[in-house]
């Protein structure tokens, strides 16, 4: 459209536009109630609002206690408790177990391999390279903080992509043996993988 030009736009919102997936019922649900429609140039610049009422013949979607799920109904910055999340999930949450040396896999993030000297040194080396890239001398740099956090969450297997072919699967598996405390076996595997290149 040209500057100053006006045009009427129609956007149809069917029932699916108001639906959410209910894990407990394994289906898309539409709850009865009032829904506010907001139109604007951005979420900070709302120019038009209206409220529509939806009637629903579907049964109540949440079988969990509404009091337990209160954080989901009252939007705030308060953290969601484990109990509230388990109620929403519909079953007990799996235990969050951090693996220990000897049980690491190619999918284990570097940040979870804290009890391996070799893994810590690898992470320190990657962080040092990132600091050089950002030319950081200790000053606060939010982007650097974000990248360092990403490196800690990155699984070992991602070195295959990051190395641009310099690290092979065999080399990575040899490295994993050493990270898991099998240094001698890992060194033998590393030599074999380098000779096979």
> What would the pLDDT profile of 81-135 be if each residue is shown by its tens digit?
888 788 777 788 888 888 899 999 999 999 999 899 999 999 999 888 888 888 7
3-21 burial, b at 16+ Cβ within 10 Å, e below that, comes to eeeeeeeeeeeeeeebbee
4 and 37 inside one domain: yes
pLDDT grade for 176, boundaries at 50, 70 and 90: very high
Residue 100 within any structural domain of the chain:
no
115 and 188 inside one domain: yes
68 and 146 inside one domain: no
Residue 105 within any structural domain of the chain:
no
Residue 16 within any structural domain of the chain:
yes
85 and 21 inside one domain: no
Residue 101 within any structural domain of the chain:
no
Q: Which domain holds residue 88?
A: 64-95
82 and 55 inside one domain: no
147 and 177 inside one domain: yes
43 and 82 inside one domain: no
Residue-wise pLDDT tens digits, 17-67: 888 887 767 788 888 888 899 998 888 899 999 999 888 665 555 555 567
- 175, pLDDT greater than 90: yes
The SS3 of residue 174 is: helix
41 and 115 inside one domain: no
Phi, psi of 99 (to 5 degrees): -70, 160
3 and 79 inside one domain: no
* pLDDT at residue number 138: 59
- C-alpha dihedral, 117 to 118 to 119 to 123, nearest 10°: 100
Residue 31 within any structural domain of the chain:
yes
Mean pLDDT of the residues in the chain: 84
Residue 122 within any structural domain of the chain:
yes
Query: How many other C-beta atoms can be found within 10 angstroms of the C-beta atom of residue 180?
Result: 22
11 and 49 inside one domain: yes
57 and 70 inside one domain: no
Q: How far is CA 33 from CA 8, 69, 144, in A?
A: 28, 18, 45
Domain count, the chain: 3
132 and 189 inside one domain: yes
Q: How far is CA 125 from CA 14, 108, 110, in A?
A: 53, 18, 12
* pLDDT at residue number 66: 64
């Amino acid at each position: 459209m040209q500057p100053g030009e006006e045009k009427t736009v129609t956007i149809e919102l069917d029932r699916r536009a108001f639906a959410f997936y209910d894990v407990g019922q394994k289906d898309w649900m539409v709850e009865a109630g009032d829904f506010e429609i907001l139109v604007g140039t951005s979420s900070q610049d709302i120019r038009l609002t209206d409220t529509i009422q939806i009637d629903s013949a579907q049964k109540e979607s949440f079988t969990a206690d509404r009091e337990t799920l209160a954080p989901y109904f009252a939007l705030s910055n308060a953290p969601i408790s484990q109990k509230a999340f388990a109620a929403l999930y519909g079953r007990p949450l799996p235990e969050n177990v951090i693996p220990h040396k000897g049980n690491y896999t190619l999918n284990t993030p570097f940040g979870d391999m804290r009890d391996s000297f070799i893994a810590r040194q690898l992470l320190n080396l990657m962080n040092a390279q990132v600091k050089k890239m950002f030319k950081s001398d200790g000053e606060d740099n939010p982007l650097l903080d974000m990248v360092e956090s990403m490196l800690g969450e990155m699984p070992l297997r991602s070195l295959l992509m990051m190395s641009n072919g310099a690290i092979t699967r065999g080399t990575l598996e040899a490295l994993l043996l050493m990270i898991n405390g099998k240094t001698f076996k890992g060194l033998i595997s590393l030599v074999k993988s380098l000779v096979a290149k």
